[in-house]
Amino acid sequence: MYAVVDIETTGGRAGWHRITEVAIIVHDGEKITDTFQTLINPERYIPAHITGLTGITNEMVSSAPRFHEVAKEIYTLTENKIFVAHNVNFDYTFLKEEFASLGAQFVRKKLCTVRLSRRLFPGFPSYSLGNLCSSLGVSIKDRHRAGGDAYATAEVLSLLLQQDKEGFIEKSLKSNSREATLPPNLPKKEFDTLPEKTGVYYFHDKKGKILYIGKAKNIKKRVAGHFLGETNRKQPLIQNIYSISSEVCGNELIALLHESEEIKKHWPPYNRAQKVKSFNFGLYQYEDKAGYIRFEINKVIKFYKPIHTFKSLSEGRTFMQKAVKEYNLCPKLCSLQRTPKACHDHTLGTCDGACDGKESADLYNSKVLKAIEQFAANRKSFAIIGKGRYTDESSVVVLEKGRYLGYGYLLNEDNYLGYEAIKACIKPCKDYPEIHQLITSHISKNTSDKIIKFDD
């Protein structure tokens, strides 16, 4: 027995939005045996654009039953039946969420008429319910209302059952088939061919645009995880996935670096964490009218190379506070204090008075130049050699004087090449503050990688 379900809602996310209408068509595989349909008071405002789509207004649901008042009937009608819907995980997740709010579990076997239609009726231009019904000659009354869409889906199910000569529907119900968990528009063969290796994966929409980029130690396993369990937050993404591509990276560090680079390159709409623009601050030097070398911490300026870079202004100030103490510099000339007079440290007797002319420019600048020289000495050049994509290959990540240059691959016998030869193997990449966090964190956790240091 099948329970063909369609719902209308206040929006697209089950965790945030609520059901406004539900229809259930009980189907025995040949004919309809029972029906149920009702508006539901969502206990919240229905947005105007949703009313424009469904025709369901706030006035229409004001006197309708609340979900808990019809929950028992919905539960009973779908119990011991196969839950069928067009894009099944959307309807199923909403109902599961509603039952969870009542402290009840809602678990049913599922079939998706989008996925079944793609397999049993291949070659149609579109598998949206309206276009699919048009291709199959199924009429829809009250489009975008639960009853009309449920009856149309039930007719589609009848045609699918008639068309299924090889028992594909029965196979789809097996737990290892994944037909009920994969996105409705994703060909199963694309999932089946994903590598079980470390790398980066991409979710694409109907036009091939990248929707989301992720990294994983096991690409296939991680992708499967997106489609299992509670998918409330992911429903808008999942509904729009039409294809998946991937790139094997060899090890987790390269995957992390490549993922970060690709997110900043493509700005996928469903990636959030690494899309936040980081305030990349830099330390700059200049000479004032009196001949004193001053430091200024500012956002990185295009075409002007900073002495040092920081992920935040506070990190830059902490760096300079340490330098002021270590090299006996003036905090005012290091942009740590903003005062028209001498710095506070000079008043306390802990500054030699460059800000008040007491210390000569030549003497003060000699201390500044010593500090700059030490800044450069502290920024080492090195390469991180790790596992490659193949047995005869290694990965390499290069930093030059503390600045990230990029990553690449080289043959195992080339690990002992000189610095310039190793640099020639990498793909140049932009240097971002978060890249250094990824590298530092990886080095602290992975003792198997080899670090090759180079003389500056």
Do 250 and 348 lie in a common domain?
A: no
**Nearest CA to 408 among 278, 251, 299, 195?**
251
Looking at residue 381, what is its pLDDT? 84
For residue 388, what are the domain limits?
381-454
Query: Nearest-CA neighbor of 285 among 266, 304, 263, 271?
Result: 304
> Is the separation of the CB atoms in 250 and 395 below 8 Å?
yes
- CATH number of 128's domain: 3.30.420.10
Could you tell me the CATH number of the domain that includes residue 195? 3.40.1440.10
Residues 17 and 149 in one domain: yes
Helix axes 252-266, 433-445, angle to 10 degrees: 160
**60 lies in the same domain as 124:** yes
pLDDT at 127: 93
**181 falls within a domain:** no
Domain boundary among 172, 202, 218: 172
Query: Looking at the domain assignment, is residue 45 inside a domain?
Result: yes
Query: Residue 144 domain-assigned?
Result: yes
- Residues 255 and 311 placed together within one structural domain of the fold: no
Q: Which of 357, 373, 389 is the last residue of a domain?
A: 373
Alpha-carbon distance of 279 to 295, in angstroms, equals 18
CA end-to-end span of the chain: 74
**How far apart are the C-alpha atoms of 429 and 261, rounded to whole Å?**
8
**19 and 149 share a domain?**
yes
Contact 442, 434 (CB under 8 A): no
Flag whether 388 is in a domain: yes
The span from the CA of 326 to the CA of 321, in Å, is 9
- Domain assignment present for residue 179? The answer is no
Residue bearing tokens 């990190």: 315
Give the strands of the sheet with 403-411, arranged side by side: 426-428, 403-411, 393-400, 381-387, 450-454
Given a cut of 50, the residues of the chain with pLDDT beneath it are none
Same domain? 196 vs 285: no
Question: CB–CB of 246/201 below 8 Å?
Answer: yes
What is d(CA 150, CA 236) in angstroms, rounded to the nearest whole number? 21
Question: 285 with 366, same domain?
Answer: yes
Question: What pLDDT, on the 0 to 100 scale, is given for residue 323?
Answer: 94
Phi, psi angle pair for 105, to nearest 5° = -90, 145
Residue type, 294: R
**Domain shared by 325 and 217, yes or no:** no
Domain boundary pick from 172, 200, 223: 172
The pLDDT score that the predictor gives to residue 455 is: 67
Residues 89 and 127 in one domain: yes
Does residue 182 lie within any of the structural domains? no
pLDDT at 116: 94
Residues 6 or more apart whose CB falls under 8 angstroms from that of 378 comprise 402
CA dist 351 → 161, 326, 327 (Å): 87, 12, 11
Shared-domain flag, residues 240 and 330: no
Listing DSSP states for 216-276 in one string gives: ESSHHHHHHHHTSS--TTTHHHHHT--EEEEEE-SSHHHHHHHHHHHHHHH--TT--GGGS
Q: What pLDDT score was predicted for residue 82? A: 96
Contact by Cβ (8 Å): 238, 15: no
Residues 206 and 251 in one domain: yes
386 and 363 in a single domain? The answer is no
Tell me the pLDDT of the chain averaged across its residues. Answer: 89
- The number of domains in the chain is 4
> Do the domain assignments include residue 387?
yes
Question: Scanning the structure block, which residue is given the tokens 């000189």?
Answer: 418
Residue 180, in any domain of the structure = no
Q: What does the DSSP assignment read for 3-47? A: EEEEEEESSS-TTT--EEEEEEEEE-SSSEEEEEEEE-B-SSPPP
Q: What is the pLDDT of residue 99?
A: 95
